[in-house]
Structure 1
Amino acid sequence: MNKLTTFIVMTFLMSFAMSAQTVSDLMNKVSQDTLTKTIREFSGEDQATVNGSTVTILNRQSANNDLAANYLIEKLSKYNNLTINDQAYTVTYGSTTYNGRNIIATQLGKTNPDNIYIICAHYDTVADYCADDNASGTTAILEIARILSTQCFDNTIVYALWDEEEDGLVGSRYYANAAGANGDTILGVLNLDMMAHDSDGDNDFDIDVRNIAGSLTVKDDILTALTNSGLNLNVNVVNPGTAASDHAWFWSNGYPAVLMGESWFNNDETPNYHTANDRFSDLDMDYFTDLTKLSLYYIATKGSLQPIDNTVTATVSNISANQPGATYQWLDCDNNMTVIPSETGQTFTPSSNGNYAVEVTVGSCVEVSSCVNFNTLDIDGFNKESIEVFPNPVTSKLNIKIPENIHKAMLSIVSIEGKEVLKKPIDKQYIEVDFSPFSNGIYFVNIENEGRTLSYKVVKE
C-alpha cells in the first residue's frame, strides 16, 4: 500500500467511525440548509413538488390550504416510524361551522406508548407568504420529525400541524377536546408559533406559561434543555403567558402546555405580522436554527431515546453496523433506499462505489442509519472494471485477470449454499481456475486485496 493509499484509508476510518447517538448528536443534525429550503417552499418563495406536480404554495388560508396540507403529508410520509393521520374535521363552535385538516404524525413509544408528548405548530395563515407566522413553526416540526423519526423512543411523540389557528384555534381545539374526552395521557405540549424573527440580534425568545396542569414543569424542562444544549439563546419566561395560540385549548382540557417563539415580551416580533410582507427576507436563520435545535433537544429528551445504535463504521473494504445482536438489511441510498438482496449481515462489502445505509431491527424497534458514501473501491485501480472474470457461464476453465499493480490478492470461491470450495493466493496477473470438479450451479468468486473484497457471481453449467 503506497503512502497516498495509507493516507486515504486513515482519513476514511477517522471520518466514518461513529458512536451511538445522544440527544446532542441528534440536535446537531438540524440543518440550516434544510430549514431554508423547506421554509422557502412552504411560504411560497420557491416552487415545491406535491404529488409529482411543480406548484407554488403562495397562500395557506384555511379555505385555500389543501395544497399546503398535501405538502405536509408528502413530507412526513417519507420518514420512518411515523403513522400519518390526515385529520379532516367538520365542527360547529357557537354559530359557526368549520371545516379543516389537522396533519398528525405519531411516533409510537416502544415502552410507554400511552405516554404522549406533543410538539406542534399551526400551518394556516391570514395572507400570502407568512414566512414567520407560521411557516417557521411548521418547518421546525418537519425538520425535527425528519431527524427523530430515525430513532426509537420509550414514549410516544406526536408531531401535530394545526389548521384554522387564525380562525380561532379551531384545529387544536378539536384535537385537544377529543384527547380530553378520550382520556389521553398527554404529558407535555410544546407549541411553536413565530420563531424566526430577531431584529436586534439579542437571541431572546419567550416561553409563555401558566400554572396549569404541570405546565410550569414543561417550562422547567425546556430551561434544563437550554442549559444542557449549550445554545446561545436567552429566555424570557412570561407568566401568565398568552392564550392566543394553540397551546390554550390543551390548558382548557387540563394538559400541561407552553408556547415558545420569538420575543413579543421585548416587542421584537415581526413587524409584518398578519400581512403579505411577512417574507423570508425578514427572517434570522441562525436564530431560527437554534430555536429548532432547542425544540428538538426538549422533545427528544422527553421522548426518552432507546439505546439502539443505528450508526455505522466504514473501512476501505466494507461498512459495518455498530449495533450488535440485531437484524440487518442494507439499503441502496442512490436507488431510493432499495433493499440490497441477500445483504443481511452486520457487515456489508459493497461491490461498487455509492451511498449505502442499514436498517437495524432490535425487537420492535426499527432504525435506519444515515447514508454513508463508499468510494474506495478504485484505490490503486482495484475495482470491478479493472478485473476480468470470464467466461460466464463457465463449463470448465474460469479465467481471472487482475491489474499488474495488484499484489498478494487472495481468491476464494463459495457455493450458493455458503460452502467455500476453493481458496488460493493469486500470485500472477493471469490465472485459470478449473471449475470442472464443481457441481452445476451458482458460485461467488471473491478476490481480496489489502482488506478489500470484490465479489463476482458466476454460473457453472
Structure 2
Amino acid sequence: MKKIAVFLLTSLALQGMDAQNFIQAYKTRADWVTQANITANLQEFAAFGIKKTGTPANTNAMNWIKNKYLSYGYAAGDIVENPFPYGNGNSKNLIITKTGTLYPNTYVIICGHYDTIVGPGVSDNGSGTSIILEAARILKNVPTEYSIKFIHFSGEEEGLLGSKYYTNNVAYTGATRNLDIKVVFNIDQVGGQIGNNNNTIICERDTGGTPSNNAASNTATQELAACTGLYSPLQTSISYAYSSDYMPFEAKGYTITGFYEYLRSENEHTTADTFANIDPVYVFNVGKAAVGALQHFAVASTSTNALSTDESSVQKPVETVKVYPNPAKDVLTVELDKKVRHFSVEIHDMSGNLVLSSENKAKIDTSGLENGVYTVTIKTDTGNISRKVIIEK
C-alpha cells in the first residue's frame, strides 16, 4: 500500500459526534463481529502465501473470497468477477452487490485489496479483506436503504490497477458516470503490530486532487470517526487519503473515506507481514467500527423486529466442529457437538462450484473428487462455518 507516509494527525476526541446518534440496533450488529471469524479469515488469507497480481496464488485467494460469500448465502448472481489486463494475462476484482430497499441504484462501496507484493500481506491487506468479509456476513439479511457493493480489488500494489480499471470502465466510461455512489469506504492495512498499544484508528479524508468533493469527504470522514466511537472501543484521529484504492474514485469526483492503522507496523511489503506479527484484536475492533459505520452510510434497518429476524439468520460460528483428515482421501469426517441434531454439508471447488452436498452425514464420500483445495461449509440451525480442505489421493 503506502510506501512512504508522514501523517498529519489531528486529535478528534468528540468532534463530529453530533453527525451520528447512537443506534442500539447498529451496536448490536457491530457486536456480532467475532474474534474467531476475524482470526480464521486472517490465518486462511495467510495460507495462500504471496498473492502477487496475476499469479495462481492471487487467483486462489480470489476464489477463497468468492466461496466465503457463497457460504454466507449470497447468490451467484450477486457476485461479479471483473477481469482487467495484467502482463500477458489478467487478474480480477471481485464485486458483490447487496440491493438496497429505497435507493437500489445508489451505492455505498466498502473496498480493500487482496493482492500482496512480497510476503503473505496479513496486515496489507488481509486485515481489510477479513473485515469486509465479516461485514458482508453480518449484513447479509439486514435491510439497507442504499445498495452496498463489497469490492475486493487486485493490482493495488502495482499502482491501483484493479481500482483504476473498475472506476474507468464500470463506474465511469469516458465522460459518462454509470454508477451513483454515495461514498467509497476503503480499508487498507489495519493489522497493527503485536505489542503496540493499538487503541486508535486513522480516519482518512480527501484533502487534494479533485477539490469539489473535499467537503463531502470531510463530512463522511467525521461520520466515520463518530461511528467508530459509538460502535467500537477505538479512539480516532484524522489524516489525509492517498495511495490506495479510493483514489481513482476521488479523481472522478466521488466521495471517499477510509481506515488506516494509527501506529505503523512497518511490516508492509516485507516477509514480516505475517499473522504472528499483527494484532488480531485490533483487527477485531476495527471490524466492529466498520460494521457500525457501514450501517450508517447504507442506512440499515433499525426496527426491533428486523433486528430479531436478522439475529436469528446471521451466520454465527458453530460452537464445536472438526473436519478431518486434512488432507483427505476417500472419506471426510465432520464431527459436531452432540447437541446439533440437523446439519448439512456443502463442498465447493475453488471456482465456487458446488461439487458435493449431504444431509446429516458425518462420513462423506469424497472418492469422486479430484485432487485439489475445496471449501467445506457446515450449515446448522445456529449458523454456518467453513473450512478449507485438501483432497490428496
Band of TM-score, shorter chain: 0.5 to 0.7
1:203 aligns with 2:186: no
CA RMSD, 1 decimal: 2.6
SS at match of 1:22: helix
Structure-1 residue corresponding to 2:343: 334
**Structure 1 segments of 4+ aligned residues over 4 angstroms from their partners:** none
Higher helix share: 2
SS at match of 2:156: coil
Q: 1:222 to 1:99 in 2, by over 3 A?
A: same
Out of 381, 389, 393, the position equivalent to 1:371 is: 381
1:34 aligns with 2:37: yes
**Contact 1:73 1:86 (8 Å CA) reproduced:** no
What is the one-letter code of the residue matched to 2:122?
A
Out of 275, 281, 284, the position equivalent to 2:279 is: 284
Q: Structure 1 vs Structure 2: percent identity of aligned residues?
A: 25
Matches within 5 A, 1:39-50: 39-44=42-47
- Deviations along 1:58-107, one digit per CA (max 9) or x if unpaired, are 1210021111111111111222355111111237xxxx787220011110
CA shift, 1:276, in A, is: 1.4
Structure-2 residue corresponding to 1:152: 143
1:134 aligns with 2:135: no
Partners of 2:51 and 2:382 lie apart in 1 by: 37
- Deviations along 1:20-50, one digit per CA (max 9) or x if unpaired, are 9811111111011111111101111xxxxxx
What is the one-letter code of the residue matched to 1:273?
E
Partners of 2:382 and 2:161 lie apart in 1 by: 44
Matches within 5 A, 1:229-248: 229=231, 231-238=232-239, 241-248=240-247
How many residues get paired?
283
Partners of 1:208 and 1:237 lie apart in 2 by: 6
What is the one-letter code of the residue matched to 1:39?
L
- Deviations along 1:187-214, one digit per CA (max 9) or x if unpaired, are 1111110001145314122122124521
Task: Show structure 2 runs of 5+ residues with no match.
Answer: 1-22, 313-340, 347-378, 384-393
Out of 129, 134, 139, the position equivalent to 1:143 is: 134
Larger Rg belongs to? 1
CA shift, 1:312, in A, is: 7.9
What is the one-letter code of the residue matched to 1:334?
F
**Contact 1:189 1:247 (8 Å CA) reproduced:** yes
Structure-2 residue corresponding to 1:188: 183
Partners of 2:131 and 2:310 lie apart in 1 by: 24
- Deviations along 1:251-293, one digit per CA (max 9) or x if unpaired, are 0011011221202xxxx22232201121111111221111011
SS at match of 1:221: helix
What is the one-letter code of the residue matched to 2:254?
Y
TM-score normalised by structure 1 residue count: 0.57
Partners of 2:98 and 2:85 lie apart in 1 by: 26
**Contact 1:81 1:150 (8 Å CA) reproduced:** no
SS at match of 1:62: coil
Structure-1 residue corresponding to 2:374: none
Structure-1 residue corresponding to 2:14: none
Structure-1 residue corresponding to 2:72: 79
- Deviations along 1:348-397, one digit per CA (max 9) or x if unpaired, are xxxxxxxxxxxxxxxxxxxxx99349xxxxxxxxxxxxxxxxxxxxxxxx
**Contact 2:229 2:236 (8 Å CA) reproduced:** no
SS at match of 2:157: coil
Q: 1:139 to 1:311 in 2, by over 3 A?
A: closer
TM-score normalised by structure 2 residue count: 0.67
**Contact 1:172 1:249 (8 Å CA) reproduced:** yes
Q: 1:151 to 1:278 in 2, by over 3 A?
A: same
User: Which of the pair has the greater relative contact order for Cα pairs under 8 Å at 6+ separation?
Assistant: 2
Matches within 5 A, 1:419-434: none
Q: 1:78 to 1:202 in 2, by over 3 A?
A: closer
CA shift, 1:130, in A, is: 1.4
Matches within 5 A, 1:219-234: 219-229=221-231, 231-234=232-235
